[in-house]
Amino acid sequence: MVDFRLTEKQLALRQLARDFVNDEAKPVVAELDRRSNPEDCVSDVLMKRCSELGFRTLALPESFGGGGVEDTVTIGIVCEELGVADLSLASIPVNGRKLLHILNPDVASEEVRGKWMKEYCADPAFMVAIAMTEPDSGGDNILPYDAEGAGVRTTAVPDGDDYVINGRKQFIAHAGIARLYVVFTRTDPAKGMSEGCTSFLIPAGHPGMSFGRVHDKMGFRLLRNQEIVFENCRVPKEWMLGPLHGGLASMRAGLRSDGILNAARCLGVARRALEEIVDWCKGRVQGGKPVIEHQAIACELADMHVTLQAMRALVWNVAWSVDHEPPDPKAVPGVMVFCTENAFEIAHKAAELAGGMGVMKDMPFEKILRDAFCIKHLDGGNYLKRFKVAAAL
């Protein structure tokens, strides 16, 4: 028996997110996106409202001050709604869920879990950043196998009771504004990523950790990405997350399933594209009738609608399965590829169907298209995700 009816709680959360998007977020995201300095595109106000409405801490346990929403489908529903306004807004509930999984009991003590989750819930601007990618190691960190010479180059060298970290990270989401950083380092250069990498939790403002440029992206601009520089950054060994050389396993144990929420936010961007183009095609008259009544256009819109339904069915299916079934390493990367590619196709088609207006900055289509392109590059990009699917076939 498969039941896709939403519960009262899911419907209420969806409505809460939908009202926030329509009343507060949609009116301001286009202006934020257009700001030329990428440092000005993140909105403290929207972040604060997402905290007040409980979206940021949705996934964290009630005992620490969170929303206590454990099921992935519900968080995915909120991600879709926020993604209708902007992909970056949907990063906010994903961030809380990531913190929960980063601090999973296999790698973090009760004390460490309690400290950071309580601080996260109490501070409406608290975000966590996950710093893995480096100038010379991007896809190399995500491979489903150990390749010789591949992986992070940032080093952590033991010195007394401390480790001393040196290196550089790039593209890191929320860097510069996050209060806490999960930093992947190489602790055994002779070994591959799976046996030679260790992660550390480092609070913002710690000496030796500073920030480089804020990346100026074509889209996804309300998400800040920035370089992080480590120069003789001395951290106590107690800040190690999980065992020495077990950084990758610690991360995989925790974050494996969270990619499904990136797929869920693709539903939002695709839905926005579809809603906007349907409205536009109903209002634009050419050839004596609204263009939606021209069969070629109507068929495109129908295909876009059906594709979106298929994306959502797959997201809900896999979101449910990550909570209830043994891990399937193909499932999440597979659905991420499907949803990011189709969200991009829907956004592309919407911009195309809008004719010349599709490329004008006073219409929403070009922003949606830029955002939809960017999300293909999360978590290693879509080729690497396909490798993961193929490796598990």
Ligand X SMILES: Cc1cc2nc3c(=O)[nH]c(=O)nc-3n(C[C@H](O)[C@H](O)[C@H](O)COP(=O)(O)OP(=O)(O)OC[C@H]3O[C@@H](n4cnc5c(N)ncnc54)[C@H](O)[C@@H]3O)c2cc1C
Please give the residue ranges that form the binding site for ligand X (CB under 6 A). Answer: 130-133, 138-139, 142-143, 171-173, 220, 225, 374, 377-381, 383-384
What DSSP letter does each residue of 325-345 carry, written as one string?
A: S---TTHHHHHHHHHHHHHHH
CB 337 within 8 A of CB 318: no
Spatial CA neighbour of 73 closest among 264, 253, 227: 264
Shortest distance in whole angstroms from residue 346 CB to ligand X = 19
The rounded distance, in Å, linking the Cα atoms of 162 and 158 is 6
Nearer to ligand X, 13 or 127 (CB): 127
Nearer to ligand X, 127 or 346 (CB): 127
Shortest distance in whole angstroms from residue 259 CB to ligand X = 11
Spatial CA neighbour of 334 closest among 285, 379, 303: 379
End-to-end C-alpha distance for the chain, whole angstroms = 27
Shortest distance in whole angstroms from residue 14 CB to ligand X = 26
Nearer to ligand X, 221 or 271 (CB): 221
Nearer to ligand X, 314 or 384 (CB): 384
Backbone angles phi, psi at 236, to 5 degrees: -65, 150
Nearer to ligand X, 138 or 290 (CB): 138
Shortest distance in whole angstroms from residue 177 CB to ligand X = 12
Nearer to ligand X, 177 or 281 (CB): 177
Nearer to ligand X, 56 or 321 (CB): 56
What DSSP letter does each residue of 63-113 carry, written as one string?
A: GGTS-----HHHHHHHHHHHHHH-TTTTHHHHHHHHHHHHT-TTTS-HHHH
Backbone angles phi, psi at 128, to 5 degrees: -110, 140
CB 311 within 8 A of CB 346: no
Nearer to ligand X, 226 or 321 (CB): 226
Shortest distance in whole angstroms from residue 379 CB to ligand X = 6
Shortest distance in whole angstroms from residue 43 CB to ligand X = 17
Taking CA 292 as the corner, what is the angle to CA 289 and CA 295, rounded to the nearest 5 degrees?
Answer: 95
Nearer to ligand X, 184 or 280 (CB): 184
The rounded distance, in Å, linking the Cα atoms of 327 and 322 is 6
Backbone angles phi, psi at 360, to 5 degrees: -85, 140
At position 132, the amino acid (one-letter code) is M
Shortest distance in whole angstroms from residue 142 CB to ligand X = 5
Shortest distance in whole angstroms from residue 293 CB to ligand X = 39
Shortest distance in whole angstroms from residue 216 CB to ligand X = 12
SS3 category, 114: helix
Give residue number: closest CB to ligand X. Answer: 138
Nearer to ligand X, 252 or 282 (CB): 252
Q: How far out from the chain centre does Cα 216 lie? A: 18
15 burial level (CB within 10 Å; 0-12, 13-18, 19+): exposed
Which two tokens mark 24? 């507060």
* HSE-CB for 262 with a 13 A CA cutoff: 28
Shortest distance in whole angstroms from residue 209 CB to ligand X = 15
